[in-house]
Chain A
């Protein structure tokens, strides 16, 4: 696969373009405040002289390819790989601090004798989460993205090479804490699980529509703190229903154990369904 755009053809060394995995200049993005909600008219770039110079013959190449095609193709390749191994794969998404790692820790602990689980966890820096998760006995690989705000399939592919997949039945991918960018990157998962902690506020789904709309399951976490936060449960559920009416909703506290059984049963059920599914089905 061409490493620059994901097409199937080999390429010669191109002009200098900084590899986006290593050099990030995010600073100027944040200098602008953008309103994401209003549709834009055509925006044209530079004015340019249409008159052809001597010997210049312009032609149009129809491309019609997704810009994120490279990621999408790799994600599908991984998806096929996971299915062939009967592996159930979860992509866990949320704001930073909503309880992803704790949920995963507790899930592994409770499913220990029933589902062999491995974890790939993404953070900008540190291996704190990997260390915590390893204490549960599961094989864990930490991805440090540097400055990249989401996991993509290329990173997951790299982590898979380091993960001992022997006998694994469940793979949990803990994404970078971010409610915006991870939504656009298919990781080859079976299920997208989006966490909303009671401390996040019941209107989060309305503020971050794309990620909640893509959820197969929504988890309201840190239930033990609901009263202290004056969490409006009805409103949160209504908002989740509005964005993702088909998503399974779980309310739990990984800390106290409340609601964890229903969540673990769901994971087991999904694994059963994955086992009996035809790996070649679309």
Chain B
């Protein structure tokens, strides 16, 4: 994945929020990234450091919360967690459960002054 443009998108949103609040600086940016989103947190961190320079977010802390993947098995009527796309229902071992969480790419909050 191209973490640079994803991070750019998140930074743009954060700067927009900050501007609308009349903020001087952004101190923290909080993201929620699903483990199946295809986006690697370390790469986002690297990208952030590169692009935040010269913006009101320069020097801000980037915090990434990893969201585990959760699937729904219709046959067993249960939700289960898994680490990858090949998730087997622990009850019936069928694949292809409906993915309910784990692909998030979310700007959760920003801390400003």
Contact = CB atoms under 8 A, between A and B. Distances in A.
Interface residues of A, number: 65
B66 A5 contact: no
B93 to A, nearest CB: 12
Interface residues of B, number: 67
B68 A4 contact: no
Given A39-B83, A67-B9, A183-B38, A45 B63 contact: yes
B63 to A, nearest CB: 6
Nearest to A48: B61
Given A9-B16, A28-B4, A242-B95, 14 more contacts: A4-B12, A5-B16, A7-B16, A34-B40, A37-B84, A45-B45, A45-B61, A59-B112, A60-B28, A60-B112, A65-B107, A69-B13, A210-B38, A210-B85
A6 B20 CA distance: 14
Contact of B96 (A25, A57, A183, A242): A242
Nearest to B106: A66
A280 interface: no
22 contacts: A12-B19, A17-B11, A17-B15, A29-B4, A40-B41, A44-B61, A45-B45, A45-B62, A48-B60, A52-B113, A58-B112, A59-B21, A59-B111, A59-B112, A61-B18, A64-B108, A65-B106, A67-B10, A148-B5, A180-B38, A181-B1, A243-B96
Interface of B: 1-6, 8-21, 27-28, 31, 35-38, 40-43, 45-46, 48-51, 54-56, 59-66, 68, 83-86, 95-96, 99, 103-113
